[in-house]
Structures are given as C-alpha cells and as structure tokens.
Amino acid sequence: MAAPINSLIDSLPNKEDKIEVLSDLKALLGNIPVQSICSVVANVSFSSVFDCLSTENREQLELCCDVLNKLLKALSPDVVLTQFQDELKTGLTNDEAAVRKLCISEIERISREMVNELLQYEELVIQVVKTMADDVLEVAKIAGNTLVNIGGSTGGITTLYGGAVMSALQDVLSFSDIVRFRVYEVIVTISSQSISGLHSCSESGLLQQFLNELHRDDILVQLNCLELLSDLALVEHGLTYLDQQGVLATLENMMRSSESDPLAGFLVPGLIKFFGCVARIHPKEIMTTNGTFVSTVFTNLSAPQSDSMHSLAIQTVGFIGSSVEGKLALEKLGNKMDTGVRCIGKALRETQHDTKIVVLQALATLLKLKVPDQTSELLKLTECWYNNLGTRTFDYLVSLADQPFPDLRIALLSFYNSLALQPWSQAIMNSHPGFREYLLNRSTEKTKEGKEGKFAIISTLANSPTSAEIFGQPYIVQLKAYCSQGPFYVRAQAEVAMEGDS
C-alpha cells in the first residue's frame, strides 16, 4: 500500500492536473484503516502535498485539506512539528479558512501532547497568538485552546508573558472588543488553572487591564467582563485575588447603585449570575459578606412572576442550595429563606409553562440530599422547605405529570428523583394514591429522555437504604426487576392463533 501512496505523492510536483492526483489520494486514504496509514506514511515525505495549498482553486484546496488531514493525523506530533513547522505557520495566514483550521488544529494537537517542544518554535507560537484575531470564530477558538494548553506549563507561562509573544498579545488586544475578550478568556482560563499562571498574568499587567474593563462606559463590555470574572472566582486562588484587588466590593457597590442608576440596572442580571456562581462554590463567604446580593435575590423572588428577574432569582437560590454548605448558608437567612421558598411554591402553581420548568429544576437541586449527607438536621431542613412550598404540593406535582409537555415532564421527573432519595419524601410518595402504580407503568413516558428520567427514580428507590421499610419488600422487588430490565424494556406481545385462521 505504501508504493501507491508514495507514487501519487511523488507525482504531484510534475503533474499538471493536481486535482486528479489529490482525488486519487483521498480515495486511497479513505479505504485504509487509520492504523495502516500510520505505518505507511512514517517514511513518506509529503511536503509536495502542502505545496498544493498555494492555489486559488477551491476544489484543489478542499481536496488538499482532506488529504493532509488524513496524512498528518497518522503522524506523531513530534514528527509534524519538526518536519512541517514552516508549512503550519504559513498555513495560518492562508486566505482559506479550511487551510487555517487544518493547521491550527494540528498545532493544538501538538500543544496537548508535547507543549515544551512547541515552545522552541517562538515564531509559530506568535502566529498562533495572531490567529486569535481570525475572522472565523472556530479557527480563533482553536487558537485560544492552543494558548491555554501552552499556559498549562511553567515554561509556557514564561513564554506567553514575556518577550515577543507578549508583544503579539498586546497587538491582538487592540483589534476589537470581540477579539480583546477572546484574549481575556484565554488569560482568565490560564489564571484559573494555577496560582503561578495567575501570578504571571497579574505581573504582566494583562489581568489588571482586564479588570479595568469593569469601569468602561459600555454595558455589553461590562457584562462580558462579569461572565469571565465568574470563571476566575470559581477557583480558590482566583476568588482570593479578586477579593484582594477589591473587585468583590466593587461589584457589590455596582449592585447597590443600580437602585438609583437606571443604566446600572442593566448589569443586575449579570451581577446576580456572578455572585450566584461564586456562592455555589463559596456559599458561606458570599452569603455572609454580600448583603446587597442576598437582598436583591430574595426581593426578586416576590417580584411580578412575568419578570425575568423573578426566574433568575429562583435559579440562583437553587444554584446556591445545590450543596450541603449552600443549604446551611441559606438556612442561616431564617425567615428570609422561609418566605423565599413560599414564593417559589407560589410560582410553581401560578406561573406559565417555562417558569414552571425553572422552578422544578431549582427545587430538584435545592431539596436534593444524598444519602451520605442525610443527617437528622438536614433531613428536617429539606422537609421544612418542602412544606413551605404550600399545601397539597404532591397532588399538584402529580397533576403536572398529565400535561403533554415533554420538557415539563423531564423537569418533574428530575424533581421526583431528588425526593426519592429521602425517607420523609419516600413516605409521601408511598402514601399518595396511585403513585406506586405510576412509577411501574412504563407507558407513561414516550420519549427517550422521559424513559430515562423515570428509570432514574426507580433506580434511586431500588437502591435506597430506607425504601424497603417504607414501601415494603415486595414492591422493592418489583422496582429491582424494573431496573434489571433497563429503561427501554418492552413486554413482548403474545400472539394468539385463532382456529380457522389461514
């Protein structure tokens, strides 16, 4: 097989109809397993294939990219880097996006598997930085991923934030708001990966340049900045840095000023999302020191139900309460939380279809309590919150199961699954007329997601340490049989042959 491939590649420089040769190569490579291509191309030079990229003929370009993609993937990253670094660098400036994507994808592969070797080719790294400004988002995205991979090593951090590469980063930052935030996304990701990454980025001045965007008189820029700040604040060293730089206090002041500044009000959703994301990981710190955030969220729980802020507030409470630490932080709010849960219960019954889904999703995380976390204190807490949702809540949940909206049913099944973990809610399920039969009835769900959602509830109950005592062992045997059959089991229909049938 090597001979035909070698022969076709060798014929390219002198062949007038390169499209014909490339087509034959593509067909030949398409019929060979990847493992076989690896053994064939190890000793085959295909620089002449790269030369075919120097054309304005789109068909030739596309064929050449297809062939090169097959050939390059069959080579180890070190061979690609040492033999074709010049071709890859040139390809990043090609007019055709397909060529740029091919080359940046290969460099990204190299950065994943042998980043230190890549750092020896500084001009190639600089060209990757420049590719962040590519007009095609997909190409720019891969370039960003490559730089993140580089920033994952000590040598890579030194390379990025020093010398010519740093100058290239500064140049790219001046292109446009869109490109600038692509660079910010990269440096935030690198800063989140390690303390050394954050320290070097801070020393370079890039991190401060990013933080200064918060004070720009542009709402869209500020919102984009908030989104990236959330990513940085999710890691311990990132949150500590933002606190030391006074960023958390600044954001709290921005939320406070929104009450008197109409323009600042546009930032409130972004600010709530920021503090909500951080509070999910660091609930105690955020809930005790950021009173304006807490007040804003719970005020919006009782806002008009058609208001988007109302749904965001519900999501935020569910988000924070997804962990044990978050539940305890919410409990410490006392009456404020109790009133908030009552508002959520009211929203469950009175809002439109889309908001009901948001409520069910939030409740599924807020009331979920894994078996290892089920202390008497926490079980009492989740039961109290459930009771605060209102009277006859389970009756209402059962009525939702009859509505013909797949997305609503899936959200409901997820909430049922959270309830199925705890003994107090298992008792509610067991005592509700018809619910035991509903769980075992496979015909209630028609979609794949619905069948999987029902199966998750069955599995939870079948494996619960408290369900046998509550539901009784015979019923648990039925649940385990359901589990062993899987989510998509269909009972075979017996065919009865009637006398006289032909």
**Model confidence pLDDT, tens digit, residues 89-144:** 999 999 889 999 999 999 999 999 999 999 999 999 999 999 999 999 999 999 99
CA atoms of 414 and 441, how far apart (whole Å): 17
Lookup result for tokens 């972004």: 270
Nearest to 426 by CA among 479, 470, 486: 470
Is residue 356 in some structural domain? no
Neighbours of 176 (CB within 10 A): 11
Query: What confidence category does residue 361 fall into, taking pLDDT thresholds of 50, 70 and 90?
Result: very high
Which range (136-140, 163-167, 214-218) has the least confidence? 214-218
Using alpha carbons only, how large is the chain's radius of gyration in Å? 30
Instruction: Give the Cα-Cα-Cα angle 361, 364, 368 (nearest 5 degrees).
Output: 155
Is residue 388 in some structural domain? no
CA atoms of 272 and 251, how far apart (whole Å): 10
Who has greater pLDDT, 482 or 13? 482
Is residue 98 in some structural domain? no
| pLDDT at residue 1, as a whole number | 47
Question: Does the pLDDT value for residue 407 go beyond 60?
Answer: yes
Question: Does the pLDDT value for residue 493 go beyond 90?
Answer: no
Is residue 425 in some structural domain? yes
Average pLDDT over residues 192-207: 94
Average per-residue pLDDT for the chain = 89
Question: Does the pLDDT value for residue 319 go beyond 70?
Answer: yes
Query: What confidence category does residue 500 fall into, taking pLDDT thresholds of 50, 70 and 90?
Result: very low
Average pLDDT over residues 349-357: 91
Neighbours of 491 (CB within 10 A): 7
Contact 69, 106 (CB under 8 A): no
Is residue 99 in some structural domain? no
Is residue 454 in some structural domain? yes
Question: Does the pLDDT value for residue 46 go beyond 90?
Answer: no
Contact 327, 346 (CB under 8 A): no
Domain count, the chain: 1
Residue type, 256: R
Is residue 118 in some structural domain? no
- How many Cα neighbours within 13 Å face the side chain of 188? 23
Nearest to 429 by CA among 466, 379, 402: 466
Residue type, 141: K
Is residue 133 in some structural domain? no
Who has greater pLDDT, 289 or 456? 456
5, 257, 310, 497 from 292: Cα distances, Å: 69, 10, 16, 74
Query: What confidence category does residue 306 fall into, taking pLDDT thresholds of 50, 70 and 90?
Result: low
Instruction: Give pLDDT tens digits for 142-156.
Output: 999 999 999 999 999
Its pTM stands at 0.79
Question: Does the pLDDT value for residue 495 go beyond 70?
Answer: no
Q: What is the span of the domain harbouring residue 477? A: 418-490
Contact 407, 416 (CB under 8 A): no
DSSP class of 496: -
Question: Does the pLDDT value for residue 430 go beyond 80?
Answer: yes
